[in-house]
């Protein structure tokens, strides 16, 4: 129950940050990605958001680690830099440039009740399920190959 409450609070503050920084406006995202200024002057806002978030989170994580306390669970996932990471990030980048939405702002936008946000979120969920199916199929194939060997 307590963990559910803290998760809700974290989501609320996170969403407030996305609202305050106007990252829920797809035009701000595209304005940043348009480095060449094809559609107007370049908008560095996303860089300021990332800077504020990374400096805050990075410093506080260091402070938490120095304070000791409970050892952090292994935060480095076993996965390294591989083709899957790059291909996935590349596909995400194309969708991001196309829509101006990444998952966080899309979910926050649901609160505005706009139909477009619901459509984009439904499409994101569908894409995630398609990826899940594909990854599973590939894992099965890999197992089959190993068995055949």
Q: Which of residues 105-144 bind other proteins (CB under 8 A)?
A: 106-114, 116, 119-132, 134-135
Residue 111 in 3-state DSSP? Answer: helix
> How many residues touch other proteins (CB under 8 A)?
108
> Long-range pairs for 37-41 at CB < 8 Å and ≥24 separation?
none
Identify which of residues 65 and 143 has a Cβ nearer to other proteins in the complex: 65
CB of 137 to other proteins, least distance (A): 13
CB of 144 to other proteins, least distance (A): 21
Between CA 135 and CA 59 the distance in angstroms is 35
Q: Which of residues 40-59 bind other proteins (CB under 8 A)?
A: 40, 43-46, 48-58
CB of 66 to other proteins, least distance (A): 13
Does residue 5 touch other proteins according to CB under 8 A?
A: yes
Return the DSSP state at 71.
Answer: P
Q: Which of residues 73-112 bind other proteins (CB under 8 A)?
A: 73, 75-77, 79-81, 84-104, 106-112
Q: Are 32 and 42 in contact (CB under 8 A)?
A: yes
Identify which of residues 71 and 147 has a Cβ nearer to other proteins in the complex: 71
CB of 145 to other proteins, least distance (A): 20
Q: Please, what sign has the CA dihedral across residues 75, 68, 15, 5?
A: positive
Q: Which of residues 8-47 bind other proteins (CB under 8 A)?
A: 8-27, 29-31, 33-36, 38-40, 43-46
């Amino acid at each position: 129950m307590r963990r559910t409450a803290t998760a809700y609070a974290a989501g609320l503050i996170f969403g407030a940050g996305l609202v305050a920084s106007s990252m829920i406006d797809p035009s701000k995202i595209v304005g940043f990605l348009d480095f060449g200024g094809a559609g107007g002057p370049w908008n560095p806002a996303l860089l300021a958001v990332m800077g504020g978030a990374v400096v805050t989170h990075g410093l506080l994580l260091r402070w938490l680690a120095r304070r000791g306390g409970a050892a952090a669970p292994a935060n480095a996932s076993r996965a390294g830099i591989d083709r899957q990471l790059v291909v996935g990030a590349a596909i995400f980048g194309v969708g991001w440039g196309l829509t101006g939405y990444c998952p966080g702002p899309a979910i926050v936008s649901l609160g505005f009740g706009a139909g477009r946000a619901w459509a984009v979120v439904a499409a994101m969920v569908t894409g995630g399920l398609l990826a899940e199916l594909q990854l599973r199929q590939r894992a099965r194939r890999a197992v089959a190959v190993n068995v055949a060997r």
